[in-house]
Amino acid sequence: MSSGSAEPSARPLPKGGQSLTAGDRRRGRHFTAVIADAGIVAVLVWTFFPVFWLFMTSIKTQQDAFAFPPKFIFIPTLDAYRRLLSDEAGFHWPRYWFNSMFVAVTSTLLSLALGIPAAYGFTRFRFRRKALALFGILSVRFMPPIITVIPLYFLMQYLYLIDTRTALILVYAAAELPFVVWIMQGFFAAVPAELVEAAVVDGATELFALWRVVLPIATPGVVATALFSMLLSWNEFPIALVLTGENAKTIPVAATTLIAERTIYWDRVSATGVLAMVPTLLIAFLIQRHLVRGLAAGAIR
């Protein structure tokens, strides 16, 4: 993976991805480009081998999953998935899936409801200590989650919210909020200020301008932000571990209880993993274009 073997060109290329150097041409490839291609293949194998293995194990029978050396030729089965979509001794899978999705969607809605106006406030107005206020919001994002679990546990106990989805929604919304404010601010800044000014001169209130002028233009941004935010919630573990019991348990927490059993049924562990992956992969596909902006904002950790 020597960087020297890479294609030297770092400049943006003309539209249509026309190649400029020998290494880019379909035919007559440069030697270094071949090495680079081999490197890319190696990276992809390294990336997808674990995922492939997980998927393969998830469609094995319990017996095949325990076979060693591993079987490559076997009769695939959806047994493990069937178990994960129904209730069984000690596990209430349908509830866990519902919890994870409900918390992801609802906390996202709450964080958008609070974060969109805030992002608008930060882009539209100039005021004193703006940088400080933004810094304050952003710094929440960087706090190690584990340091909040002890006080949050007592807070939720005081509010009779231990082991409820409400507790997770309230906490996750706060965790997503800094990210929503930061990323939406970028999207709002791309909306021409004249449009807002024109609306306000015509007598619209700021809130109306946000709702009817800015938001429609920034809709793709809102969608991307919402997807990022749901990803955060879907993947969160330590807070859910401490704040939930059986009732509000989310998928990551339920998944860890599978590996805490005396015998680990790898077919079911793998199937849980694959099912949990589906929404994240879908989101990854949809937000690719906005990934860089999201990453810097701490969309994914």
Partner 1 sequence: MRPRRARPELAFIGPANGYLALVTLFPLLYTAWLSLYRWNIPFPRHFIRLGNYATALQDPLFWYSVRITLWWAIATSVAEVVLGLGIAQLLNRHSRWVHLARSLVIVPMVLTPVVTAMMWRYIYNPTLGPLNWLLGLAGIAPREWYSDPATVWPSLFLIDLWQWTPFVVVIVLSGLYALPSDVYESADIDGAGSWSKFWRLTLPLLSPVLLIALLLRLVESLKIFDTIYVLTRGGPGTLTEVLSFHIYRMGVGERFQVGYGASMSLLFLVLATVPVVILILRARNELGLS
Minimum Å gap between C-beta 141 and partner 1 is 9
Decide whether 68 or 160 has the Cβ nearer to partner 1: 68
Q: Which is nearer to partner 1, 37 or 87 (CB)?
A: 37
Tokens 């935010």 locate to 229
Under the binding rule (CB under 8 A), the answer on residue 218 touching partner 1 is no
Q: Using the rule CB under 8 A, is 165 a contact of partner 1?
A: no
Q: Of 1, 32, 7, 31, which Cα lies nearest the Cα of 20?
A: 7
Encoded tokens for 209:
């301008």
Whether 294 and 287 have beta carbons less than 8 Å apart is answered as yes
Backbone angles phi, psi at 197, to 5 degrees: -55, -45
* Under rule CB under 8 A, residue 170 binds partner 1: yes
Size of the site for partner 1 (CB under 8 A): 118
Identify the burial level of 176 via C-beta atoms within 10 angstroms of its C-beta, where 0-12 means exposed, 13-18 middle and 19 or more buried: buried
* 237 vs 246, beta carbon nearer partner 1: 237
Please tell me whether residue 143 binds partner 1 under the rule CB under 8 A: yes
Q: Which residues contact 54 (CB under 8 A, 6 or more apart)?
A: 270, 273, 274
For the segment 8-37, give every residue that binds partner 1 (CB under 8 A). 8-13, 17-19, 23-24, 26, 32-33, 36-37
Judged by CB under 8 A, the residue of 22, 159, 195, 292 near partner 1 is 292
Residues numbered 88 to 127 that lie near partner 1 (CB under 8 A) are 114-115, 117-118, 120-122, 124-127
The two structure tokens encoding residue 152: 């949050």
Task: Note whether 272 and 251 are within 8 A (CB).
Answer: yes
Q: Is 219 in the site for partner 1 (CB under 8 A)?
A: no
Helix (H, G, I), strand (E, B) or coil at 91: strand
Applying the rule CB under 8 A, the residues between 33 and 62 that interact with partner 1 are: 33, 36-37, 39-40, 43-44, 46-48, 50-51, 53-54, 57
* CB 278, min distance to partner 1, A: 11
Take residue 215 and report the two structure tokens written for it: 């938001």
